[in-house]
Amino acid sequence: MAELPATRSGPGRVLVAVYAVFALAATARATVQIATRFEEAPLAYLLSALAGVIYIVATVGIARSDRTSHRVAVVSCTVELIGVLLVGGFSIADPAAFPDDTVWSRFGSGYLYIPLFLPVVGLLWLRHVKRPHRNAETGTV
């Protein structure tokens, strides 16, 4: 299936690249933290691992142009936004519960607040490109 022009160049490529960087960074960081000092902050490290998985799923969903990938990307960006808001809020309200930072702690302040804005940008982008619609007559996309 051919890619939509929106994901082959310009802002779509940049969005996929940013998501890929966050996927790699969050997953690598969480892997090292879980392997070397899990007992220090298990909740924070597991949340960072979850963030990494969500970034991976979002990256693939945004990069691909089929209907299922679009839906997966919308769901992953939505879950990501909810996670950033919940973890960000809880990490400010109860800092003792987060002895070490997650990607989403304090709304992503350790990452220039990019984790707070990235899912919003992702959802706006997905709304802009929309998912391909199935042709009722031919059954093709």
Sign of CA dihedral 71, 13, 9, 82: positive
Cα–Cα nearest to 80, from 39, 111, 40: 111
Other CB atoms within 10 A of residue 41 CB? 18
Span 82-125, pLDDT tens digits: 999 999 999 999 999 888 988 999 999 999 999 999 999 999 99
The amino acid occupying position 69 is S
What are the residue boundaries of the structural domains of the chain, listed by start?
Answer: 11-129
Distances from the Cα of 35 to the Cα of 50, 67, 101, 103, angstroms: 15, 37, 16, 17
37-55: pLDDT as tens digits: 999 999 999 999 999 999 9
Three-class secondary structure of residue 37 per DSSP: helix
